[in-house]
Chain A
Amino acid sequence: MASEMQLPAHEESLALREQFDTAAQQKDASTLGMWIFLITEIMFFGGLFLAYTVYRSMYPGVFAVASTSINVYWGAANTVVLLTSSLTMVLAVRAAQLGQKRLIVLFLILTLILGGVFLGVKAKEWYDKYEEHHIPGPAFHLEGLNPDNVVSQGHAQLFFSLYFAMTGLHAFHMVIGAGLLLYLIFEARKGRYTAEYNTPVDLIGLYWHFVDIIWIFLFPLLYLIDRHLGK
């Protein structure tokens, strides 16, 4: 069958790419794609949660002492900051659904700022750990262990390795989120997002909330182990 060059089925646009038949199909597919990506992230963080669970069950006393040495007030404050950023993010998504360009930009910028605050506090917390010699390595030493010997110091190092690995991976995801927010802000200022097409805002919102949920678990698991025993 001879035929001329096969033309695409329709004009391609942002809201309706070539491979899709309708804008609704594209939005459904993109949303499903983001959700599947998020469950890969659940499994990705899951490995660290597994390591944490295993070692906490093996060394509960040491983990409690180590946890109490972390400043719970900064941690709680940071949790509030991140939750607030989730609020501003979902308000940005709402504004996008309503096509309210200025509100989209406003809420995205607020989210970015709050995310930045979170990261700043995190950096301060890590610096505190550095000062207290709680960074795993040759200079590591945790006070308050009973018994206090090489073995228990080793176990305490495990806690902090997990602390840095988990909060570090989380922070890394926040940095990526911040980059994505910057991109959204630039595009939103150009008027790219309307009631008809706002999928990127929606999807990046899902990502942001997911990163928040990870922190919702990290906070009690890392900061709140048997606080009643602490200083």
Chain B
Amino acid sequence: MITTAVQEREHYLNESYGIKSWLLTKDHKRIALLYLFTVTLFFFLGGAFATMIRIELLTPRGNFVSNDTYNKLFTMHGVAMIFFFLIPSIPATLGNFFLPMMIGARDLAFPRINLLSWYLLVIGGLFALFAMLAGGVDTGWTFYTPYSTTYSNSWVIATALGIFVAGFSSILTGLNFIVTVHRMRAPGMTWSRLPLFVWSNYATALIQVLGTPVLAVTIILLFCERVFHIGIFDPALGGDPVLFQHLFWFYSHPAVYIMVLPAMGVISELVSVFSRKRVFGYHFVAYASMAIAVLGFLVWGHHLFVATQSVYAGLVFSFLSYFVAVPSAIKVFNWTATLYKGSISFATPMLYAFGFIGLFTIGGLTGLFLAALGFDVHVTDTYFVVAHFHYIMVGGTIMAYMGGLHYWWPKITGRMYPEGWAKLSALVVFLGFNLTFFPQFILGYMGMPRRYHVYPDEFQVLHVLSTAGASVLAVGYLMPMIYFVWSLKYGAIAPANPWGASGLEWKTQSPPPLHNFDETPVVTEEAYDYSTVIGEEVQIG
């Protein structure tokens, strides 16, 4: 056990003890850790469902579970992962912890609302968990009508209620972040000096406040339809089931940008630090985040191409969907240009960043395939779509999340993680991921429908490969759980700035003091200015 000879400093983790000091905290850093704990639980819950899905898909017949059960497995996998892990993940953990620090503030604008946001996520999660344990919900995470309103005999309302409550968690976080960035920046911290992680979380927050309320009202309508049969989505009364899809996807498409924008923000930070170079085209990257937030609201109809949406609307949405790829591509080009002639180090966070850039690019390009009306007709609702979004969500967002966790772990905990094991897990994750999801592109192209557990024999080889990959991926995710916890007690003590990074969060202690800075910083330099940084050497393996 490594002990420190220095008398232990006071910081945010040891300034008070006891369960009340955590459950009633107003400190954004503690709230970030509360979120970290919660979203990690839901990640493993969603992973458990994924495991059951992949085991079932090893064989072409429905051997292990019934049709109804299988429907519940993929539904609950989606609900857990999307609403209770991916949406909150980066903003509510890393964003909560570092957004105030990066702008030189003592906390968010509304600390108690921040705590309320966490409680809302937990309450929503408990509703969803109850639904899962009581028998599950089988409508797909998309809750399409009329199945969800009229025919499903599963726990639709409990789940929808959980999502409804969690939605308010998301809205309040977004509101908090927007006000914080506008009104709490330290002297000298102009918009053009903001780290790109802040820009990304700001753009994300805009989506959260503008999109999530529509999901909320959609769930209310779903509830009314299911309980009171008001007919709003029921053709028998003149209602239109496709109206549900419009309302649902108006939120759920921008939601995918809620899930990926903060990840892109992390990547901007990592690529810069580990090439020791300013992000190339800083303003382009910043504005691209805003463009993604705005354009992301104009493309939802691409989920309705085969849903009796009018052909004209299909044309418009297809065209706009191509547009939204442009700012994402701009970011990828700028990250790549940042690497050029940079002084690159291959620390674990950088490995995850590289993984992100490659895998997100593949995911994004396949999104363009799907945006083409003609092609979409053939591959919609197949594993091609499943592979596409998993490349972005897992190959993209989760990789960035892991990269960010590793990068900021020393600051959050005051400890270094073990670099050797971390590099190994990054590699395992990368290999496992590709083995899991690349075969799914082929499966989808060949016609394997999504949400089916019975399939033609000739698809079995690819499914077996995919399941094998999933087991490797699972190992890759379990390893950090183990060594992160290990590091809390046995990890090397982290200095204030182990990576030699720029940014206000690195100018304060690890772990930070309660109010982040001993004095309010005054900012005089641009973001990513490495000429003024003194990094403290920690042995990076």
Contacts and interface: CB of A to CB of B under 8 A. Distances in A.
A136 B225 CA distance: 11
Nearest to B209: A40
A161 B224 contact: yes
Given A19-B109, A33-B179, A41-B213, A158 B518 contact: no
A36 B10 CA distance: 37
B237 A47 contact: no
B105 A19 contact: yes
Contact of B109 (A6, A29, A54): A29
B520 A9 contact: yes
A183 interface: no
Given A19-B111, A39-B209, A40-B212, A161 B232 contact: yes
A177 interface: no
Nearest to A43: B213
Interface string A145-175: 0000001001101100110010001000000
A213 interface: no
B231 A136 contact: yes
A89 B238 CA distance: 41
A48 interface: yes
Contacts of A43: 210-211, 213-214
Contacts, number: 137
Given A43-B211, A51-B221, A154-B237, A4 B183 contact: no
Contacts of A59: 238
A46 interface: yes
A18 B513 CA distance: 15
B232 A51 contact: yes
A37 interface: yes
A36 B110 CA distance: 13
B108 interface: yes
Interface string B168-180: 0001000110110
A21 B104 CA distance: 12
Contact of A32 (B7, B105, B183): B183
A71 interface: no
Contact of A151 (B232, B238, B518): B238
Contacts of B209: 36, 39-40
Interface of B: 6-7, 9-10, 15, 105-111, 171, 175-176, 178-179, 182-184, 209-214, 216-218, 220-221, 224, 228-232, 236-240, 243, 246-247, 509, 513-515, 518, 520
- Lowest 4 CB-CB distances: which A-B pairs, in order? A47-B217, A161-B230, A154-B237, A44-B213
